[in-house]
Structure 1
Amino acid sequence: MAVVAAAATSLSPCGDSGAASDSRNLTYWSMWTENEPQTAVLKSVVADFGKDTGSKVDVQWQGRTVLEKVAPTLATGKVPDLVDQTDDKLYPTLAQPGRARDLGALLDQPADGEKQKLSRTGVNRYMGHLRKSPDGARVWMVPYEVLSVGLWYNGADKNVKAPATWDDLLDTCAVLKKEQRGCIAVDGDQAAYTAWWLDYLVDRIGGDGTMARVIRDKSGAGWDDPAVRDAAAKVAELVDKGYLIKGYDASKYPEQQNRWAEGKAGFILNGSWLPTETHKFAALGFDTRFAAFPSVDGGGGGATTDVRLLGFSVPAQAKHADAAERFISYFMAKKHLGGVAAGAGNLMPRDDIDAPNGRTDVKKILESTKPREQLAGSTPDFNEKVLFPAYQELFFGKTDADGFVGRRGARCRLQQHRGAPLGRPGMATPDELGCPADRRLPAHTRPRAPVPPLHVVPPAAPALRPTEVDLRAVPAPRDARATSGDWAAEMWSACGSPRDPASAYLEPSEQRCSVRGPGTTGTCLTSTSRSTGFSRCCGRSTPNTPMCCSPRTTVS
């Protein structure tokens, strides 16, 4: 599953359900595409819902970029009534900015046609895994599928068994290497897949939540945690001893996971979707098994297992939110959700629904261990700009553990990414850290030549108040500070546009952020400070109301 990454309104935080109107019909924007196996099962449930309730569900199969299409609608109020995606993507789009309806009542009542509360069917096991909404109380998502990551292996291979400890894994790798077989398969172009090794190891060594504290430490001092260096050293050992399958560093997904299914490697750290993707390549007699990530002798971490949830959210602006909730209740009933498990081959959050073929081990481990979030506290932007670039140099053998955590490693990239010294007084600057010159600062902080003024209609009065501007007619001059660069792409994606930018730049004196993309130009004025308002090309015209660039919006 290599694919599984707003303008001001008067909406109250986290969605005030009182604003929604009741209706029998609803609009559902799905993360699935028209021809996927999952879609056929969903269509069946939608059809049954219509027959049983007389309601009509207008489903639009938007695909994995569904939330990029939802984001611009938040500026207009013409939002879908129901959307689905993974929790890490729903959170920044709907929950974090307070644009998700509270669905807590659904958990406190039985699913359609049942007697037991939905919360008591096993769903509550995973609700604590979700990041908190701004008020810390709202239920902004109801999960209908559970994804996890662990070590997969062939149970029929006499030389491979589930490793209880890290040393057990190394011992098996040594045996396989003598047989001139790969020990660990991984597709090197999937940065997240490679980073799972570090993520798990840091928590196994330092204790649950260690990686989250490292990531959330804005000073950069978290990278000095001994657990990080120890974990990096163990990853480097896999590389140095040749335990990673040959060619991993130049492979393209799904090349190496298919080679694992063919028996060319003993293990692969991958998600619960793996059997679906590899069954056509599995060798004769292949027994697909799943094991928890091994413990580390002397480590402080307990038995935790990665969890990623896939489920429904209702935008707080939805006009037919009540109908959307009725559909969720209908969908979550065992008789319907069980069909999704069988038809799509995925795990469900309910205890009373059997795991599909190849996922029995996954279900048992999830039910017997504490869930943990993958790279907890991270954002796609942080991963792409800070963690992945530094870590992949380690994973590809270009640096060692000291290089990863040291002067030219992850902390350096954190400083580069933020563009200024952070955290404690006297903390080293990127120059003092010895950061590579070509990656020293984000483009928007570098000196530049003057740019022509923007042709934007200014507010009629000094006080900030809305002014309607057709942003498609606003020229956005190219700027040397960020031309088709990562920073520009970050800003554009944060604003929810599916288009890539041609250029992006900042006008600090006018507190204005501008982005230009193919066929679309956006300009936003903001009243926020530079440290919080401009890093994502999004501002806040009021403390709780986000504001973003879009083809046509209201700027202040």
Structure 2
Amino acid sequence: MDRTTSRRSLLAAALSAPLAATALTACGGSSGPGQAAEGGASIWYLTGDPKESIRDAYVEAFNESSEGDLAHTAFENDAYKSKIRTAVGANQAPTIIYGWGGGGMRDFARAGQIEDLTDWLAENPEVKDRLLASTWPAATVDGRIYAMPNETVQPIVLFYNKRLFEQVGAQPPQTWDDLMALTGTFNAAGIAPISLAGQSRWTTMMWLEFLFDRVGGPEVFQAIYDGEPEAWSNPDALKALTMAQDLVRADGFVTGFNSVVADQNADQALLYTDKAAMMLHGTWTYGSMKADGGDFVTGGHLGYMNFPTVAGGKGDPTDSVGNPAQYFYLSSSATDEQKELAKKFFAEGLMTDEAVTAFITDAGEVPVVKGVEDQLGQAADPEWMEFVYGTVSDAAYFGQSWDQALSPTAAEELLTNIEQLFQLSITPEEFAANMNAVLEA
């Protein structure tokens, strides 16, 4: 599946998988699974329609219009994470590598395993200028660009159940104080204020990401990304950690949230079956709620908004967090001929007009290309699509989710400590000390 819930879930399993041959499901390209024709290039990406079919289509269209043969292979999500690390480490990577930018890409870049695209993009400014500015920071390491953003933007937003808000006579929260007050309102009515799949851990992380931004602004985020000493002990970070525990103590989340799993969409079901009033989640959940929630979406009962403001906070109210894009890297082990074909693909084969239309109409997601406002009207849910596009294009800052921005080792330690923080088994100060130790390791 190419759903981000699947992509993020089982991160620990992906990290602990042995770097050896892995059993997986793959669909081969024109030259067989992962094998390019002699002198040709190859590309690996993920299974899961509708996006897999869109990827197949734009690669095949490029092959038909190009002299080269770009062999394409699709892998299931969790198998791919292990497979690609094995292949890159053994200098057997495909020419073009599918990834998520951030920490995993940074490891590849600093090991010299993927190509620096900065100078090539400077020579071809039209390639970079087509894409949303918010997509490029997660493609950048030490001021150099190592990836091509592509596909769709996926910010995290606050969903809410309009039926339940009407039932208790409340309005959606505009501030953190509003949100805290609503915990009492909904609990008094026998309704869980917030749905949360706590067992999945990365869903809980979303709350901290927004609190860190709203309290401390992008500087706190960037210090963590950059691995600055004591970054997690910043007073604003400690305040955000404390606010998160305040929400837990106020019974803000559904009873038993630590046993709810995102992969089964149980958190979404709590929202659309009127068991919970709100849910902080990625925009990728909109489609599954529409498919599974009866008339919840189609009947106009789903509301959505950006995260509330925090009084006295340093973060811009337009700031967002989530997935700025998906990314393609160019393997350093490729031949010069293969690298040239890959760059031609980056310039001509990615985010074509046909692909942009397909991402909007078939995938129901907002593409990473500028100036698509008029095309969003072709979507089945234009109001939703315009909201997502506006959230990203208007954001003063768009932070990449921590479990992608940090190194795999740091991300796993982060998720463990987040789980303990929300279980109230460690203090904010202990959380900060544990994470600072990871930065120093």
Per-residue Cα deviation, 1:188-247 (whole angstroms, up to 9, x for no partner): 11212102212221221123221442575665x444432233222221222122121122
Instruction: State the alpha-carbon separation in 1 of the partners of residues 344 and 139 from structure 2.
Output: 24
Residue 313 in 1 paired to residue 337 in 2?
no
Instruction: State the alpha-carbon separation in 2 of the partners of residues 368 and 241 from structure 1.
Output: 33
CA gap of 1:404–1:374, structure 2 versus 1, over 3 A, is same
Asked if the contact 2:232–2:433 (Cα under 8 Å) also holds between the matched residues in 1, the reply is yes
* Secondary structure of residue in 1 paired with 2:331: coil
1:300 is aligned to 314
Residue 349 in 1 paired to residue 362 in 2?
no
Instruction: State the alpha-carbon separation in 1 of the partners of residues 139 and 70 from structure 2.
Output: 29
Instruction: State the alpha-carbon separation in 1 of the partners of residues 234 and 212 from structure 2.
Output: 9
CA gap of 1:94–1:342, structure 2 versus 1, over 3 A, is farther
Residue 405 in 1 paired to residue 429 in 2?
yes
Residue 140 in 1 paired to residue 147 in 2?
yes
Per-residue Cα deviation, 1:287-315 (whole angstroms, up to 9, x for no partner): 44432111100112223111422021111
CA gap of 1:216–1:102, structure 2 versus 1, over 3 A, is closer
Q: Offset of 1:265 from its aligned partner?
A: 1.5
One-letter amino acid of the counterpart of residue 60, structure 2: A
Instruction: State the alpha-carbon separation in 2 of the partners of residues 396 and 379 from structure 1.
Output: 24
Residue 187 in 1 paired to residue 197 in 2?
yes
2:237 is aligned to 228
2:423 is aligned to 396
1:101 is aligned to 115
Which deviates the most, 158-167 or 200-209? 158-167
Q: Offset of 1:41 from its aligned partner?
A: 1.8
Q: Offset of 1:106 from its aligned partner?
A: 5.0
Instruction: State the alpha-carbon separation in 1 of the partners of residues 210 and 86 from structure 2.
Output: 36
Instruction: State the alpha-carbon separation in 2 of the partners of residues 100 and 389 from structure 1.
Output: 30
Q: Which has the higher contact order (CA 8 A, sep 6+)?
A: 2
Residue 240 in 1 paired to residue 259 in 2?
no
Q: Offset of 1:348 from its aligned partner?
A: 1.0
Instruction: State the alpha-carbon separation in 1 of the partners of residues 91 and 149 from structure 2.
Output: 22
Q: Offset of 1:273 from its aligned partner?
A: 0.7
Per-residue Cα deviation, 1:361-385 (whole angstroms, up to 9, x for no partner): 1211111112122239632312322
Larger Rg: 1
Q: 1:81 aligns with which of 68, 76, 95?
A: 95
Asked if the contact 1:67–1:93 (Cα under 8 Å) also holds between the matched residues in 2, the reply is no
Per-residue Cα deviation, 1:85-135 (whole angstroms, up to 9, x for no partner): 21136513532323222334357648xxxxxx23333433421x226335x
Q: Percent identity?
A: 18
Per-residue Cα deviation, 1:369-414 (whole angstroms, up to 9, x for no partner): 12122239632312322x3333322312445xxx2314xx441465
Residue 369 in 1 paired to residue 411 in 2?
no
Instruction: State the alpha-carbon separation in 2 of the partners of residues 307 and 210 from structure 1.
Output: 16
One-letter amino acid of the counterpart of residue 411, structure 2: N
1:278 is aligned to 289
RMSD: 3.0
Aligned length: 387
Residue 259 in 1 paired to residue 285 in 2?
no
Asked if the contact 2:268–2:289 (Cα under 8 Å) also holds between the matched residues in 1, the reply is yes
Instruction: State the alpha-carbon separation in 2 of the partners of residues 74 and 226 from structure 1.
Output: 40
One-letter amino acid of the counterpart of residue 350, structure 2: F
Residue 53 in 1 paired to residue 66 in 2?
yes
Per-residue Cα deviation, 1:251-308 (whole angstroms, up to 9, x for no partner): 1222122221323212111112111232222242244443211110011222311142
CA gap of 1:120–1:43, structure 2 versus 1, over 3 A, is same
- What is the TM-score of this pair, normalised by structure 2? 0.78
2:411 is aligned to 383
Q: Offset of 1:39 from its aligned partner?
A: 1.0
Asked if the contact 2:322–2:401 (Cα under 8 Å) also holds between the matched residues in 1, the reply is yes
Asked if the contact 1:147–1:310 (Cα under 8 Å) also holds between the matched residues in 2, the reply is no
CA gap of 1:312–1:388, structure 2 versus 1, over 3 A, is closer
Instruction: State the alpha-carbon separation in 1 of the partners of residues 43 and 432 from structure 2.
Output: 41
Asked if the contact 1:144–1:349 (Cα under 8 Å) also holds between the matched residues in 2, the reply is yes
Asked if the contact 2:42–2:72 (Cα under 8 Å) also holds between the matched residues in 1, the reply is yes
Note the residue ranges of structure 1 that are not aligned, 5 or more in a row.
7-22, 111-116, 423-530, 532-556
Asked if the contact 1:45–1:331 (Cα under 8 Å) also holds between the matched residues in 2, the reply is yes
* Secondary structure of residue in 1 paired with 2:73: strand
Considering fraction of residues, name the structure with more helix. Answer: 2
Instruction: State the alpha-carbon separation in 1 of the partners of residues 177 and 52 from structure 2.
Output: 43
Asked if the contact 2:192–2:254 (Cα under 8 Å) also holds between the matched residues in 1, the reply is yes
* Secondary structure of residue in 1 paired with 2:349: helix
1:499 is aligned to none
1:475 is aligned to none
Instruction: State the alpha-carbon separation in 2 of the partners of residues 261 and 234 from structure 1.
Output: 27
Per-residue Cα deviation, 1:498-523 (whole angstroms, up to 9, x for no partner): xxxxxxxxxxxxxxxxxxxxxxxxxx
